[in-house]
Structure 1
Amino acid sequence: MSCWDTVADYALRSVGIGARLLPKEDFTLCQQFTLIGSGMIWNIYFGLLALISGFFFATALAVGKSSANKWLRKPAEWFIFIFRGSPLFIQFFFAYFLFLSLKQVLPIFAPFTAAWLGALVVLFFNTAAYTGEIFYGALLSIPKGDIEAADAYGMTGWNRFRRVTFPTMLRLAWPAYTNEAIFLFHATTLVYFSGFPAWRQKGDALYYASYFADKTFNPFIPYPILAGYFIALTLVVVSIFGMVNARLNRHLPKEARRKIRFRPNIIR
């Protein structure tokens, strides 16, 4: 079998398209690159959807935490504290068994026991909590002069938030938010090791890398391939977020613009 045949058979296997059975022997480098790359589809799916949906919830959490109304402030504070204070792996573990228990009572929760939805919910809550704290810090850092200027122009409520508060918060928070986005994509590798089953062996990139490492007894080929894919994905994320950062700071002198720096977290 040529490498092109391997790509045709396994490039979309992680989403159920292509050969049903995994290779059992004579593992080639092309097979490993193709299947691990196929698994990256799920990592991008989890990371992208959690990032987009979590962004809006995080904004609401940040506004709630900075509110003077305790009925808005306290739930936001506790939500952020719980999801930032507990390990992501444990959140996956408890969420899976919670959804499994709810499924016995209400069949409507059956889709949540699958990784494509249940794990996505956990990642959504987790990144919303971390991003909410980043946005909250940015809200506190908004110069008072900006708010006073908005008041002088007669801006209040939603109009002031939309035209002054939110853009300034986003500009201040964006470098830190970029690191959160990068780590979120890295955290997606925990999904299939946290209780959520890989249905018909349709797993993510780490699932396939582990498969080859177990079968060949040589982890020094599949895991570096996996690392290479994530490095490439990180470069894409940094590039896209860098362009957004330049757009947010386009009104500032070039030397005054905050640059994005990648600061990896040691543990989540």
Structure 2
Amino acid sequence: GFGLATVVAVGKASNKRWARKPAEWFIFLFRGSPLFIQFFFGYFLFLSLKQVSPAFDAFASAWAGALVVLFLNTAAYTGEIFYGALQSVPKGDQEAAEAYGLTGWRKFRRITWPTMLRLAWPAYTNEAIFLFHATTLVFFTGFPAVQQKGDALYYASYFADKTFNPFVPYPILAGFFILLTLCIIAIMGAVNRRLNRHLPQAATRRPRLLPQIIR
């Protein structure tokens, strides 16, 4: 949804009504309704399309149908984040780019878009973590997984039912998500440092604890 979010943000920031209104309604629709309800609507929509054409058979399963819903949902949330970042791009940067002869697509690609990413990246990191955690909701929706393969929540629920002890499988599952979340944070942090590599970094100094203890 990263690419679609960029298009939606640019559309919402556009002065042209035909580009701005669809972007606004798209963001409003997917941000205004719960993700859990979107899964149900998506599932029944794909079931209806499946009866129309066999080409939609795959979308009635979790790996494709739920993926489309998550794709649209994160595009809406990220689009709003990028839109706010676009509004915060310093006017002086754009004026300087125009003074150097950069206009249109070149100015957006070289100046506006990189600055937007730098401003939006911390908030986008939170959205990426939320999207990862939101995949657990697929277990409770109508989207069937093929023999439940790869569904961690299914296995946790299975062992909890068999052992009558939910305090073992669910903490293990939580630890699994925490480890993967740390991986996401590390990757997004590396990208953030790459985006801001030209900015002066504050010198990290170790706290001098001994003088404080003596005082």
Same fold (TM over 0.5): yes
The one-character-per-residue Cα deviations of 1:43-62 (angstroms, maximum 9, x if unpaired) are: xxxxxxxxxxx000000000
**1:216 equivalent in alignment to 2:163:** yes
Conserved? CA contact 1:59–1:132, under 8 Å:
yes
Number of the residue aligned with 2:81 = 134
CA RMSD of aligned residues (A): 1.1
The one-character-per-residue Cα deviations of 1:18-74 (angstroms, maximum 9, x if unpaired) are: xxxxxxxxxxxxxxxxxxxxxxxxxxxxxxxxxxxx000000000000000110000
* TM-score, length of structure 2 as denominator length: 0.92
The one-character-per-residue Cα deviations of 1:154-176 (angstroms, maximum 9, x if unpaired) are: 11110000000000000000000
Distance 2:106 2:76 in 1: 26
Conserved? CA contact 2:11–2:23, under 8 Å:
yes
**1:148 equivalent in alignment to 2:95:** yes
Number of the residue aligned with 1:241 = 188
Count of residues paired in the alignment: 203
Give 1:87's aligned amino acid: P
Structure 1 residue runs without a partner (length 5+) = 1-53, 257-268
Partner SS state of residue 68, structure 1: coil
Distance 1:86 1:180 in 2: 16
* Identity fraction in percent: 78
The one-character-per-residue Cα deviations of 1:96-133 (angstroms, maximum 9, x if unpaired) are: 01100111111111110011100000000000000000
Structure 2 residue runs without a partner (length 5+) = 204-215
Pick from 169, 183, 187 the counterpart of residue 130 of structure 2. Answer: 183
Conserved? CA contact 2:78–2:124, under 8 Å:
yes
Distance 1:97 1:215 in 2: 32
Report the more deviating stretch, 105-114 or 200-209: 200-209
* TM-score, length of structure 1 as denominator length: 0.74
Q: Which has the higher contact order (CA 8 A, sep 6+)?
A: 1
Conserved? CA contact 1:64–1:73, under 8 Å:
yes
Conserved? CA contact 1:93–1:194, under 8 Å:
yes
Distance 1:231 1:110 in 2: 34
Q: How does 1:89-238 map to 2 (within 5 A)?
A: 89-238=36-185
Distance 2:40 2:84 in 1: 30
Give the Å deviation of 1:203: 4.4
Conserved? CA contact 1:91–1:122, under 8 Å:
yes
Conserved? CA contact 2:63–2:145, under 8 Å:
no
Partner SS state of residue 142, structure 1: coil
The one-character-per-residue Cα deviations of 1:193-226 (angstroms, maximum 9, x if unpaired) are: 1110122232411111111112211110010000
